[in-house]
Amino acid sequence: MEKNDHICVVGLGYVGLPLAVELSCYYDVTGYDIDAALIERLKRGVNYNNDVDVGKLLECAESLTSAEEDIASCNIYIVAVPTPVDKDNVPDLSMLKSATRMIARYLKKGDVVVYESTVYPGVTENVCGAILQGISSLESGIDFFLGYSPERINPGDREHTVKSVTKIVSAQTEEVADRLASIYGSLNGGNIYKTKNIKTAEASKVVENAQRDINIAFINEVTVLMNEMGISIYDVLDAARTKWNFLPFTPGLVSGHCIGVDPYYLIECAQKCGLNAEMVGAGRAINNRMSSYVSNIITESLGGVAADGRGIRVLILGFTFKEEVNDIRNTKIFEVHNLLLASGFEVDIHDPYANAEEVRKAYGLELKENLEGETYNCVALLVSHKMYADMDKKTQLALLKKGGVVFDLKGIWKNIEFPQDTTYITL
């Protein structure tokens, strides 16, 4: 790092906030987000993501801003804004482009712009670089420099954090790559991997998550086959794991901002090259069908569509995209909920981690505050939070009407002996 470097992290979500907070322990950092309400909450130490130490957050609170002019003095910009897909699963680069245009208005000779957002190969240089160059009238690779360092944040994972994972860095020149390696390396003890160019780093990110998506898709596909044959996939997996090189993937609803999104960036890249990413697309199609598959199992267990449109009650346990996190982005539980509603059931949702205000804002749903006082025809355990895994039989049965159904997506209650008049179903 150079003596007068001033780093700006643009986008203070699941990726940018932990990075800004940790970097501020070593460097002069400004954290920017377009959401003024978010900045005000963070300044008070309120972080809905629960992914940073409150003490550290408050220490750097004064350097957080939603006023873009506050980034003018920075000379290294790290962009960590969302790159989702639209309703047609086409990559949406609008937020990335907007952040880039903002930076371009303040870009100076010698500045470095690093992207952490997921993109397909070529976006950093051909899309973002072109925007920066056009607005600033500076020349990319000569007057200012580009870099790419894919984020590897895993929400809720206290082991694989920004301070412990191997960080990939890339840049237009070796000198800038070394400079970025020094900055990121200060956080993780120098655990850095430099790729030969920016496109390689961009590709590594989408390939990582597409591979995981495909592996889960295989398990989801054979789950459907096993169930047709009356065999529990979890019993099969218990046996298969005894082989030393078996990969321990499990069936489920693939949600969140990465695995369910990033493969579409690889598909887009293939199409731009005149190719068809057949396996990647097939994996996405299989995983997207799981919401319908799960809702159909629940519906059939309750005798099909509710004829009178009311009176049959379902309780969904879990709404976040995976266990022990409060991240509700792209959660497939929403799809299951809507499909059950369409079948005429009354549906409640409980989740001890999901923020009720965020769920209301993003999905228009109200979460149950507690699990007391009401009973249901079906309890559908869809997210294996520890709270649910630790439930005793008395608590479980208190939620059920007589002759009720328990659907356990992850099989975490499969060793519990339920009463004979209770139907237990797992995959």
| pLDDT tens profile 229-278 | 999 999 999 999 999 999 999 999 998 888 999 999 999 999 999 999 99
**b/e sequence 70-106, b meaning 16+ C-beta within 10 Å:** bbeebbbbbbbbbbbbeeebebbbebbeebbebbbeb
Residues 81-103: tens digit of each pLDDT: 999 999 999 999 999 999 999 99
233-264 residues labelled b (16+ CB within 10 A) or e (exposed): bbeebeeeeeeeeeeeebbbbbbbbbbbbbbb
- CATH architecture of the region 292-426: 3-Layer(aba) Sandwich (3.40)
What integer is the mean pLDDT of 379-401?
A: 94
Dump pLDDT digits (tens) for 94-148: 999 999 999 999 999 999 999 999 999 999 999 999 999 999 999 999 999 999 9
Per-residue pLDDT at 266: 95
Domain 7-195, CATH number (from 3.40.718.10, 3.40.50.720, 3.30.70.270, 3.40.50.300): 3.40.50.720
- Whether 2 has a pLDDT exceeding 60, the answer reads no
Place of tokens 């937020």: 95
Task: Report, as residue numbers or ranges, the catalytic residues.
Answer: 258
C-alpha–C-alpha distance, residues 105 and 268, integer Å: 29
Beta-carbon contacts of 418 under 8 Å, excluding residues fewer than 6 positions away, are: 393, 396, 397, 406, 424
Q: Which residues of 194-215 are buried (b: 16+ CB within 10 A; e: fewer)?
A: bbeebbebbbbbbebbbebbbe
- Lowest mean pLDDT of 51-55, 176-180, 221-225, 329-333, name the range: 51-55
143-157, 270-284, 313-327, 410-424: which has the minimum mean pLDDT? Answer: 143-157
- Burial of 141: CB neighbours in 10 Å, binned 0-12, 13-18, 19+: middle
Residues of the chain with CATH 3.40.50.720: 7-195, 292-426
| pLDDT score, position 161 | 76
The span from the CA of 136 to the CA of 114, in Å, is: 16
pLDDT in the model for residue 4: 75
Q: Which of 42, 95, 103 is nearest to 70 (CA)?
A: 103
- 163: its two tokens: 């301070």
Contact 80, 88 (CB under 8 A): no
Residue 225 has pLDDT above 50, yes or no: yes
Residue 304 burial by Cβ neighbours in a 10 Å radius (0-12, 13-18, 19+): exposed
CATH fold for the domain made of 205-287: N-(1-d-carboxylethyl)-l-norvaline Dehydrogenase; domain 2 (1.10.1040)
